[in-house]
A and B are shown apart, each in its own frame.
Chain A
Amino acid sequence: MAIRQAVKRKLIQIAAFGLSNIHVCNMKTGKLYTGKWKRFCNPGLHCYSCPAASVSCPIGALQVVSGSMNFKFSFYVVGFLLAAGVLFGRFICGFICPFGLVQELLHKIPSPKCKLPKWVKYIKYVILVVFVLILPIAVTNAAGMGAPAFCKYICPSGTLFGAVPLLSTHPELKKMLGALFSLKAVILGIVIIGSVFVFRFFCKVLCPLGAIYGLLNKVSFYHLEIDKEKCISCGKCAKACHMDINPVKTPNSMECIRCGACREKCPTGAIQLGFHIKKKQTEQEENDG
């Protein structure tokens, strides 16, 4: 019996969430995992201050190295993101990212669902440039160290997976709560409420990691193809798309998370997802030409 694409994806998402949070027992004590696996980055967004986290957050790591005294650019993290992005593109958002799964579960709460205006997708690119790339290098203390601005002022994953378990297990930290925490709690609240009404609200509007993978979506090995001979332009794929894309017009859109909802709805099997480059169409054109 064939398993539906949506079920397959959900199983992979749950497995990826489990691997990202393999030290789940640490949630009781609030102790962080301190082993050597934290040298490696998670391809998805997951705070390394989460007690259950098995690897490091790539966005946090990028800012920490850029804001350090010795280095102003992280070749290691940029290389990792470039490799992950070129191989998989935003497939990582759709299948691997733990925070993506959380948003999708929130979206299952029965409520009226709505779409965002198209311009909001550009906000995440501004956040990437300003908070992830510029501020950690430009705003430094006397020692020449910059703070990870995205983590400090915005990241709801840090608030949810880091702050909530740590504050509940370390009462002494509660004394340090202030305006900064209030700001982050408000942002988390907006993201949670937004995710109930809008599919992957944070991914669409705020995620700098999604912005990086989105830029690489156009050249990634894992991609989406439309067989124009089979396509009957019925528009079912565009209707099925939760990321508000028309796959026929922009199969490798920066917003596409490769979830495969369009492929599942296509009545003629014109949509293909994978690493392959379809040979039939190319050969046909070569013969025609």
Chain B
Amino acid sequence: MDNKIKLKKRIQIVLLLTAVSFIVYGLYRGEVGVILKKAVNICFECIGLG
């Protein structure tokens, strides 16, 4: 049981570090600009027109 908890903790830390590095890399390569451009205009696909 103790080993299971330790393994789970390790997985959590690895996933969290991966998540943070993904976010930083995504910000660095400018993905946010693509999202912002889509989000501030009417998304025709979302409302069933496009």
Interface residues of A (CB under 8 A from B): 32-34, 36, 38-39, 41, 47-49, 56-57, 60-61, 64-65, 68, 70-71, 74-80, 82-83, 86-87, 147-148, 151-152, 155, 158-159, 162-163, 166-167, 173, 176-178, 180-181, 183-185, 216, 219-221, 277, 281-282, 285-286
Contact = CB atoms under 8 A, between A and B. Distances in A.
Contacts of B29: 71, 75
Contacts of A87: 16
A82 B31 CA distance: 17
Interface string B11-50: 1100110111111111101111011101111111111111
A180 B40 CA distance: 22
- Which label, helix, strand, loop or mixed, suits the secondary structure of the B interface? helix
B42 A49 contact: yes
Given A39-B36, A75-B22, A32 B42 contact: yes
Given A68-B34, A80-B23, A285-B1, A173 B49 contact: yes
B47 A159 contact: yes
B50 A76 contact: no
- A60, A86, A148, A184: residue with the most chain B Cβ atoms closer than 10 Å: A86
Interface residues of B, number: 38
17 contacts: A39-B35, A49-B47, A61-B38, A64-B38, A65-B34, A71-B34, A74-B31, A76-B25, A79-B21, A83-B19, A83-B20, A163-B46, A173-B42, A177-B49, A183-B48, A185-B48, A219-B11
Contacts, number: 159
A49 B45 CA distance: 10
A158 B46 contact: yes
Contacts of A277: 5
